[in-house]
Amino acid sequence: MKRIGLFGGSFNPVHNGHLLLARAALEEAALDRLVFIPAAQSPFKPDQPLAPAAERLRWLCLALAGWTACAVDTQEIARGGVSYTIETVRRYAAAEPGAALYWLVGADHVASLPRWRAAEELAERVEFLVASRPGSTPVTLPPPFRLHYLRGVPCAISASLVRERVRAGLPLEPLVPAAVAEAIRNSGLYL
């Protein structure tokens, strides 16, 4: 059975925390493939201004250069509007019948999963691979939710921290791949 990981988010911008989560998911869940799916607009951050989709996609491609088990899927950007996980999962379930689907999610979102659009259907279709934050306490949810907490992830890097460092004129290389840092600086975004 094919094991496919789906990693949605704003990736505004992609950072090393995302890459650490990707590596942990690939290894710990023995995924055959991991697909990064940038959102057109997150339902959780409706007022957050996003870098242009073309830039976020370019940064993802730079960050994933050489990651042969990973791909970038633009379906949510192409759909436009608010990106709902269930719509993306339904498409993958139809395109990959019989595949085991996994959705990567941060520990900070676990408690809200029952309130996601079509949450019960979503929980039946995917197992959630959860990225812990340093100091976070694991949350459990009743069936049909299936949660697997990844061990190799605890990381305090966030996209908001990257944006703050851009505004402050601080180096980005500790937080993002060097090619992404250069592309962000050249874009003039987040200033």
Using DSSP, state whether 83 is helix, strand or coil. Answer: coil
- CA 52/CA 188 separation, integer angstroms: 12
Confidence band of 76 (pLDDT split at 50, 70, 90):
very high
16 or 47, higher pLDDT:
16
Please check the confidence at residue 10 and state whether its pLDDT lies above 90: yes
Confidence band of 152 (pLDDT split at 50, 70, 90):
confident
- CA 11/CA 27 separation, integer angstroms: 21
For residues 91-102, average pLDDT: 97
Please check the confidence at residue 132 and state whether its pLDDT lies above 90: no
Task: Give me the chain's average pLDDT, please.
Answer: 94
For residues 85-110, average pLDDT: 96
pLDDT at 153 (0 to 100): 67
Length of the chain: 191
Phi, psi of 184 (to 5 degrees): -65, -45
CB atoms within 10 A of CB 144: 12
Evaluate whether 33 touches 71 at the Cβ level (below 8 Å): yes
Please check the confidence at residue 79 and state whether its pLDDT lies above 90: yes
pLDDT at 47 (0 to 100): 83
Confidence band of 148 (pLDDT split at 50, 70, 90):
very high
| % of the chain exceeding 70 in pLDDT | 99
pLDDT at 2 (0 to 100): 97
What CATH number does the domain located at 3-158 have?
Answer: 3.40.50.620
Distances (CA, A) of 24 to 67, 148, 152: 13, 12, 5
Q: Tell me the whole-structure pTM to 2 decimals.
A: 0.91
Query: Rounded to a whole number, what is the largest CA-CA distance in the chain?
Result: 48
Evaluate whether 172 touches 181 at the Cβ level (below 8 Å): yes
